[in-house]
Amino acid sequence: MDTYKGRFYSYALCDNFFCIPKVKPLRIKYGVYESPFPFPPLFDYWSLLMPVNSISQENTILVVDDTPTNLQVLFDLLSEQGYRVAIAKNGETALQRLQSSQPNLILLDVMMPGIDGFETCHRLKANPATHDIPVIFMTALSDSVDKVKGLSLGAVDYITKPIQHEEVLARIRVHLQLRNAIRMMEQRTNEVNQALESLMQAQLHLVQGEKMSALGQLVAGIAHEINNPVNFIHGNLIYVKEYTQHLLEFVQLYQKHYPNPVDEIRKRAEDLDLEFLQGDLVKILGSMAMGSDRIRNIVLSLRNFSRLDESELKPVDIHVGIDSTLVILQHRLKAKRDFPTIQVIKDYEQLPEVKCYPSQLNQVFMNILSNAIDALEESAIASPSITIRTSAIETNWVKVSIADNGVGIPEPIRCKLFDPFFTTKPVGKGTGLGLSISYQIVTEKHRGKIEFHSTVGQGTEFVIQIPMQGLKTVT
Ligand SMILES: Nc1ncnc2c1ncn2[C@@H]1O[C@H](COP(=O)(O)OP(=O)(O)OP(=O)(O)O)[C@@H](O)[C@H]1O
Ligand SMILES: [Mg+2]
């Protein structure tokens, strides 16, 4: 605060724009500078004015001019109309201060010492933070400046000095309205984009739900259909084995007591190769029992995988989930005409049961293992392998790592991997939803973490971490 002739004058030094305070200690008339007190030279005085961002930024106009008279005239005119007015004495100051505070419109003098209005405008438009602030050039009628140059630099209008008050106000009003309309449009566009984003998320949830329940139901349905007939076979095989044994004993008894049967029986025994048949029948029955056991295990895995009856949080052995997923993928792991068997290396640590949504977690294993198989097939490597490691970390987290020695993931696409619908696979092969669904299941449903490490040409490792407790709040 300074006092002069019994009056108070307030000013503040700051980095932002400056407003001439309402109490005007300074009067400038037609270029004559009258100071009511021994004040520093005019330009220094400007740096002692109130910061604009201490008041509302609504309709703030920045006037950039090196001529005090022009500044004063515009300041008076615009403040009378209710605008907040900020001033800068030259282009450099204006640009510097625009870094921290932005007006709604800039009145920019063309001819100024230092960088001129054109250069100032050029720099303003090159800066993303200021490029959309409308700029109106001010030029004296006598100046032969290139108006086209100004407009091509991004200015929205020109006004000529001496200022025609009504014209200036009208132009300012139009451009402020235009800017506000553009702002509103941008805001609406943002809202529409956000709505679109939520729509995509909703669609993702829907697809996820459908994909999961479709796969789960299919698997559960097949498991159920196979379960019944395989049980007939498995259950009856025990009797078939027993009866066959009895019959064979019976035949052997006959052979013992009637070593020389009639010609017809002897001939028939030769035709049938009775000796071989007796030995082979037992072996056939043994392999049939083994086959039916395998089918029963597969059915059990299918049921384990779908776990449709267990949509609630449940403590489970996640190794069972991984193994049943591997059973479902067995056909893809086997050798094909042009690709060797994919070796699965399991390195399981003993783990406590993990409270989780079992069918959803199996879905995650399915997605990651399928991707690993795709990456191995793409690499055409001689000894393809998938290594699955499990371990307990920090006492209450479990970690599952699934690593392949396939093609690897190129750097530029790594950031997009969890994006919905991102795929590098041909149309019809990949939907690009596997990892985004897995991400949601792990992070949202289980409050866990999922990440990956990859080296192009060497392979990829996905690491899932699931907390063993603390899922109760998840819906
Ligand atoms: N183990 C991996 N090795 C190499 N690239 C991978 C691996 N896992 C994922 N990717 C890349 O990430 C992309 C996205 O995977 P994501 O599972 O989300 O979709 P997708 O497999 O293409 O289709 P789908 O919806 O059928 O799973 C894949 O297209 C692939 O480019
Ligand atoms: Mg996939």
**Pocket lined around ligand 1, Cβ cut-off 6 Å:** 367, 371-372, 375, 404, 406-407, 409, 417, 422-425, 430-436, 460
Nearest CA to ligand 1 atom 8: 371
Q: What is the pLDDT of residues 428-441, one digit of tens each?
A: 788 788 898 888 88
The residue whose C-alpha atom lies closest to atom 13 belonging to ligand 1 is 423
The Cα-based distances of 218 to 223, 299, 302, 308, 364 in angstroms read 8, 12, 10, 11, 17
Residues above pLDDT 90, as percent of the chain: 45
**Mean of the per-residue pLDDT values for the chain?**
81
From 365, 371, 411, 421, mutation site for ligand 1 pocket: most ligand atoms within 8 A of C-beta: 371
Taking the C-alpha atoms of residue 17 and residue 240, their distance in angstroms, rounded to an integer, is 98
Whether 1 has a pLDDT exceeding 70, the answer reads no
| Phi/psi at 353 (5° precision) | -70, 145
In this structure, which residue's CA is closest to atom 1 in ligand 1? Answer: 372
Instruction: Name residues with Cβ closer than 5 Å to ligand 2, which is an ion.
Output: 371, 434
d(CA 227, ligand 2 centre) in Å:
29
Ligand nearest to the CA of 419: 1
**Residues in contact with 168: Cβ distance below 8 Å, sequence separation at least 6, in sequence order:** 74, 77, 159
| Residue spans per domain, the chain | 2-163, 199-308, 310-475
Who contacts 203 (Cβ-Cβ below 8 Å, separation ≥6)?
none
State residue 198's pLDDT score.
84
Q: Which ligand is nearest to the CA of 460?
A: 1
Give the distance (Å) from ligand 2 centre to CA of residue 426. Answer: 12
Residue 464 has pLDDT above 80, yes or no: yes
Cα–Cα distance for residue pair 5/23, rounded to 1 Å: 14
Average of pLDDT values for 241-256?
92
Percentage of residues of the chain with pLDDT beyond 70:
82
The answer to whether 398 touches 343, Cβ cutoff 8 Å, is no
Asked if the model's pLDDT at residue 17 lies above 90, the reply is no
- One-letter amino acid at 72 equals Q
> Of 389 and 150, which is predicted with more confidence?
389
Q: What does the pLDDT read at residue 445?
A: 84
Predicted confidence (pLDDT) at residue 71 exceeds the cutoff of 60 = yes
Q: Which atom of ligand 1 is nearest to the CA of 431?
A: 25
CA–centroid distance, residue 344 to ligand 1 (Å): 19
pLDDT of residue 43: 36
Distance CA 217, CA 210 (A): 10
Lowest mean per-residue pLDDT among 106-110, 319-323, 387-391, 428-432: 428-432
* pLDDT band per the 50, 70, 90 thresholds, residue 168: very high
Is residue 402 within a helix (H) or strand (E), and if so which, with residue range?
A: strand 397-404
The 3-state DSSP class for residue 219 equals helix
Site to probe by mutation for ligand 1, drawn from 374, 441, 462 as the one with most ligand atoms within 8 Å of Cβ, is: 374
pLDDT category at 213 given cuts 50, 70, 90 is low
Give me the CATH code for the 2-163 domain, please: 3.40.50.2300
Question: What pLDDT, in 10s, does the model give residues 261-310?
Answer: 899 999 998 999 988 998 899 899 989 988 888 888 778 777 777 665 55
Residue nearest (by alpha carbon) to ligand 1 atom 29? 423
Distance 317 CA to ligand 2 centre (A): 24
**What average pLDDT score do residues 103-117 get?**
92
Residue of 377, 425, 464 to mutate, ligand 1, most atoms within 8 A of C-beta:
425
Query: At the fourth CATH level, which superfamily is domain 310-475?
Result: Histidine kinase-like ATPase, C-terminal domain (3.30.565.10)
